[in-house]
A and B are shown apart, each in its own frame.
Chain A
């Protein structure tokens, strides 16, 4: 099983971002995803900067993939997507069907990202024919669901044509909206947001009136309030999952990668999760639940 460092979902200053990735190059990640997937207004690194950073890091022993936006509305956002598709050397993670359309037209191999609704092997087959080489399962699906889809893929004779990646650590991206919830939390209009999400490098924790942390607001994206953690579920991923994804939240994510690496290599130490962690989706129960 390989490890990936997912795309940065938060908005960090340029220098912080670049420093983070320089350090990530000596981490346990086999694959690094680079790019803005949440909001096209975040331009500390513009598309060109992401591509340049990706090129700089490419061919240094890690697979580099460019990630693209999940919610594409404006023609300008499609233009940026085209720019990523035309990078000439790296694979692209599509997070919208529009991305798959452009990548398959240009015959660029792609990763089907977690924000694309791919729920069964028939869909996988169609995507494989379009150039998909890796599928990141939608975050709400379980081990059981994955197993069934892969059994079907095996029967269709396509199982060998793509890798399976599972979101394994971090706050889960759960929803995308026209509205910016971070701007709303500061009583700002989206058009006049002053890019205030840069003040919240891990998003804004949101709780019920009883203090239960239910969401993390991250611009137009709503994340799980608890941190998803499949560290204790590695054994049940073997044979099904080719890549486990760690979603970056801070420099500590590189330590998380190390923990996953040890686990994959056979360390059997059970890690006690705190009450702000969850793994329910993998066990086919409410996402915020914690089992085991």
Chain B
């Protein structure tokens, strides 16, 4: 099982490799990837250095080209594929069909991974990408239960990659336009969800308010820990049909992180090829802590599967870097749904 770690910068990339990642995924410094944030990602020079570092350590580099090509501007996405090949990257992670088609035709030897943004959740969709573009691996959306992951593993020949840890997207990735509904910008079109330039914090008499493009996402009292205003994690009220009092709650999702340490043995048994850590936007310190914990967990399991158990200090480390300091099994566990 491959441990695949995020890197939004050269220091994060080196840290991931030094701490035991088998592979690292990165994005270019433009809107061809879904973490298109200011100050993040790799220009050509940094990417060449990163690729060299990874080669020197005999590890793998994956390049995420996982937004959708704008009409008339496809060249930018195709150039990203060219760059990926020139670098000698081990795989390109692609979501857009135009980009997949270009990569499959021009570089038949380039290993293609289907990005989670392509939202393939069933065997028929996987067949489509396998047959048309010879995709080798699919990154599964975080909407599937463990049972469904196992079913897919049994019924397809493609390699499966699953999210193991990180901020939790509760919608089928690539099929959520909530961000553009609020701001005009979405992961699919500009490579960012709830973009930072629309975020505003304001101290008011009612508490600390977080807003996205002026829309109130949450309001915090002095003793509450404030989180980034990702719009699906705000507090809202739902209209009632029988004039009950409206309750304010996280109508869609609490701020929480996905943590699958407890089901690692089952992921092994389902023959999952790679566990992915979310967080290209996070610091090298985050990458260090997460990578160390997951390396230890995978090594422990491999050494003695029957004795595998989640160490308390692993969870303590993970909770410390989690959104809202809480973790969940997400959709992998049916209770969550």
B-contact 0/1 string along A171-185, CB 8 Å cutoff: 010111111110011
Cross-chain contact B71 with A73 (CB below 8 angstroms): no
Q: Which residues of the partner chain A approach B327 to less than 8 Å between Cβ atoms?
A: none
Q: With A and B bound together, what is the CA distance between A151 and B74 in angstroms?
A: 14
Interface residues of B in 87-138 (CB under 8 A from A): 95-98, 101-102, 117-125, 127-129, 131-132
> Which of B9-17, B36-44, B50-58, B144-152 touches A?
B144-152
B-contact 0/1 string along A203-219, CB 8 Å cutoff: 01111111010110100
Instruction: Answer yes or no: A240 CB below 8 A from chain B CBs.
Output: no
Cross-chain contact B337 with A191 (CB below 8 angstroms): yes
Q: With A and B bound together, what is the CA distance between A16 and B20 in angstroms?
A: 60
Instruction: Answer yes or no: A148 CB below 8 A from chain B CBs.
Output: yes
Cross-chain contact B128 with A145 (CB below 8 angstroms): no
Cross-chain contact B237 with A97 (CB below 8 angstroms): no
Instruction: Answer yes or no: A286 CB below 8 A from chain B CBs.
Output: yes
Instruction: Answer yes or no: A197 CB below 8 A from chain B CBs.
Output: no
Cross-chain contact A98 with B122 (CB below 8 angstroms): yes
Contact of A208 with B180 at beta-carbon distance under 8 Å, contacts A98-B128, A117-B68, A148-B71 already known:
no
Instruction: Answer yes or no: B224 CB below 8 A from chain A CBs.
Output: no
Q: Which residues of the partner chain A approach B215 to less than 8 Å between Cβ atoms?
A: 208, 212, 214
Q: Is the interface of A mostly helix, strand, loop or mixed?
A: mixed
B-contact 0/1 string along A251-262, CB 8 Å cutoff: 000000000000
Cross-chain contact B125 with A288 (CB below 8 angstroms): no
Instruction: Answer yes or no: B284 CB below 8 A from chain A CBs.
Output: no
Q: How far is the CB of B181 from chain A (nearest CB, A)?
A: 4
A-B contact count (CB 8 A): 224
Cross-chain contact A217 with B253 (CB below 8 angstroms): no
Instruction: Answer yes or no: A77 CB below 8 A from chain B CBs.
Output: yes
Cross-chain contact B337 with A178 (CB below 8 angstroms): yes
Cross-chain contact A117 with B174 (CB below 8 angstroms): yes
Instruction: Answer yes or no: A280 CB below 8 A from chain B CBs.
Output: yes
Cross-chain contact B96 with A205 (CB below 8 angstroms): no
Q: Which residues of the partner chain A approach B188 to less than 8 Å between Cβ atoms?
A: 117, 119, 138, 140
Q: How far is the CB of B155 from chain A (nearest CB, A)?
A: 8
A-contact 0/1 string along B140-161, CB 8 Å cutoff: 0011110010010001000000
Instruction: Answer yes or no: A265 CB below 8 A from chain B CBs.
Output: no
Interface residues of B in 158-192 (CB under 8 A from A): 170-172, 174-178, 180-184, 186, 188-189
Cross-chain contact B238 with A120 (CB below 8 angstroms): no
Cross-chain contact A120 with B123 (CB below 8 angstroms): no
> Which of A29-37, A55-63, A99-107 touches B?
A99-107
Partner among A121, A176, A184, A284 whose Cβ is within 8 Å of the Cβ of B171? A176
Give 6 A-B pairs besides A117-B97, A126-B132, A212-B215 with Cβ atoms closer than 8 angstroms.
Answer: A71-B172, A117-B96, A117-B119, A120-B68, A174-B178, A215-B178
* 12 contacts across the A-B interface (CB closer than 8 A): A71-B143, A81-B124, A117-B118, A117-B174, A119-B70, A119-B71, A175-B232, A200-B241, A207-B237, A207-B239, A214-B215, A215-B236
- Write the residues of chain A forming the contact surface with B, with a CB cutoff of 8 angstroms: 70-75, 77-78, 81, 96-102, 115, 117-123, 126, 138-140, 145, 148-149, 151-152, 172, 174-181, 184-185, 189-191, 199-200, 204-210, 212, 214-215, 217, 222, 224, 280-281, 284-289
